[in-house]
A and B are shown apart, each in its own frame.
Chain A
């Protein structure tokens, strides 16, 4: 990637060199469009089968797509592994709970909320937008402090953020109901909102990646010293990515709350962190296509293993895996994939329709 910035050149020369407007956007837009088509195709197929458990399973897939794309916005572009993003998902989920639960129930279960929040009862899409905003704001505050760090120190610091959020939400009885689950969140059972949010997340990630800030951040990921020497303020660009990805994680969290109707702090802790991170790394950490396809592929794998565990009939005999083998097989498959493709299934390429010569 080159940023040509040469004021000494004659105006005519610079004008000739300047690419047409939105050239980068036009060249790369095919990737998010293709990925969205994958999502929508899955959604249409699911609606056509009309199976309820399958519907719920696909909702989970779309939620994970949202979360993993959220992770990608920060991790993929900055190269800094973050363990803290599920904390923002937790914030988003609880914000959605605060905004949508019936005020009568809230007064009984969460009496510590401020008055205006106790009275509030918004439709789910408004609450999801506010939840994303809230999570993004918190990410901005934390990021302001943390983005000076890099490498493994940054990873641990983000993990500390996750642990802090988890500790607070597990103990603040009046406001979060501590470790007991908060119930009464209106459940959204149709598939479309989740598919749309996943598509929104994909386009947000794409728009950020080709923005000035995203390009600068990727330059800093690949060559930190050279990028800093070219005038890129690395902590600032990281903060931008951190905030956007925090907001996307919050959005995912809000929808997660609406998909099951119950939130507990431990849903949003290490288990979810590692599953989403694994999906990102197995797919390909530094590619948007990798993030989306990693989720789709690993989720399909999990689904197949579940079916095998439930038992499959081969002719007269039923073949079933013993209980617990599903997770073991998943772990083994992940290790095998990573051993053979250390950069993930997609690597750092993106899927497009045609191969273009990038130097043209």
Chain B
């Protein structure tokens, strides 16, 4: 039982962090960023030396953790801001579908860039190996990593909400998310806010890369995509643009996946994802605006 709770919390954390990264950007510029998954993959590959071998040559991964973690976060933030400056800046007035396809094309570029350097073969890496020992809590044996994942996510969430509520920059960002043109008229600098959102979202991608990389012990070019899809769904179910909704829906999706894995009859288990997606459709039908509808996204007539 405890095992299930921890499993769903740690899976939910990943989805929640991913959903936050997407919701932050959607909030300020109405862009559904499909390149997010590839930013995640890039962060993990930034630790490796370009090679085609199955065993990765870790070059930056051997740093002590107090250097490693900030490094990955900075890589994520840097790449994300770079994407903003080179690509998304030209799409400020484009319609959402165009932006979406542009972000997909950008993700495509990042993915094939990685592919060129590293080939498509998944590489085994040992990232922060001291985290894989099990610990015993309330009679359940859990990998230390799972615990750290959950704790780290909680800290990130608290930190982020403090940042958004207590600092001037956070205030500007929330204002921009609520009504972008109004915020601009009141003196919020649009480009700075958008770049801030991209930097935060990139840092979150770095965090996911670290957690996922140490959980699975592999670096795979495809790895960002699966998380990104779930995160994307979580963002929509949560109410696009609503950060709290994104986090809530991320945890819900994680819980739904884990619980269905356990509760479904054995014959139906391979079809688990079909049931999860069915549930997604149900939620959307019942609450098309999302669980927590963001202010400012309601349609005006």
Chain B residues near A (Cβ < 8 Å): 32, 87, 90-91, 93-98, 100-102, 104-106, 108-109, 112-113, 115-116, 225, 229, 232-233, 236-237, 240, 270-274, 277-278, 280-281, 284-285, 288-290, 299, 301
In the complex, which of the residues B101, B113, B232, B285 contacts A334, with contact meaning CB atoms closer than 8 Å? B101
A interface SS class: helix
Is A180 in the interface zone, CB < 8 Å from B?
no
Asked whether, in the complex, the Cβ of A81 is within 8 Å of the Cβ of B97, the reply is: yes
Asked whether, in the complex, the Cβ of A277 is within 8 Å of the Cβ of B301, the reply is: no
B104, B272, B285: residue with the most chain A Cβ atoms closer than 10 Å: B104
Q: Which residues of B contact A20 (CB under 8 A)?
A: none
Asked whether, in the complex, the Cβ of B101 is within 8 Å of the Cβ of A342, the reply is: no
B interface SS class: helix
Asked whether, in the complex, the Cβ of A81 is within 8 Å of the Cβ of B100, the reply is: yes
Nearest residue, chain B, Cβ from A327: B112
Asked whether, in the complex, the Cβ of A171 is within 8 Å of the Cβ of B87, the reply is: no
A108 to B265, CA, bound (A): 27
Is A187 in the interface zone, CB < 8 Å from B?
no
Asked whether, in the complex, the Cβ of A328 is within 8 Å of the Cβ of B113, the reply is: yes
Interface size class of A (residues with CB under 8 A): 35 or more
Asked whether, in the complex, the Cβ of B280 is within 8 Å of the Cβ of A156, the reply is: yes
In the complex, which of the residues B93, B106, B270, B288 contacts A149, with contact meaning CB atoms closer than 8 Å? B288
A143 to B225, CA, bound (A): 27
Q: Which residues of A contact B32 (CB under 8 A)?
A: 152
Nearest residue, chain B, Cβ from A286: B97
Asked whether, in the complex, the Cβ of B288 is within 8 Å of the Cβ of A153, the reply is: yes
In the complex, which of the residues A156, A322, A328, A338 contacts B101, with contact meaning CB atoms closer than 8 Å? A338
Is A311 in the interface zone, CB < 8 Å from B?
no
Is A52 in the interface zone, CB < 8 Å from B?
no
Q: Knowing A156-B233, A332-B109, A338-B101 are in contact, say whether A324-B285 is a contact too (CB < 8 A).
A: no
Chain A 199-245 residues near chain B, CB threshold 8 A:
225
Asked whether, in the complex, the Cβ of A328 is within 8 Å of the Cβ of B98, the reply is: no
Interface with B: A110-118, A126-134, A157-165, which one? A157-165
Q: Which residues of A contact B97 (CB under 8 A)?
A: 81, 281, 285
- A203 CB → nearest B CB, Å: 25
Q: Which residues of B contact A225 (CB under 8 A)?
A: 301
In the complex, which of the residues B104, B112, B240, B289 contacts A274, with contact meaning CB atoms closer than 8 Å? B104
Is A57 in the interface zone, CB < 8 Å from B?
no
Q: Knowing A160-B281, A331-B105 are in contact, say whether A167-B91 is a contact too (CB < 8 A).
A: no
Q: Which residues of A contact B108 (CB under 8 A)?
A: 274, 327-328, 330-331
Chain A 136-162 residues near chain B, CB threshold 8 A:
145-146, 148-153, 156-157, 159-161
- A-B pairs, top 4 by smallest CB distance, nearest first, are A324-B116, A331-B109, A342-B94, A171-B270
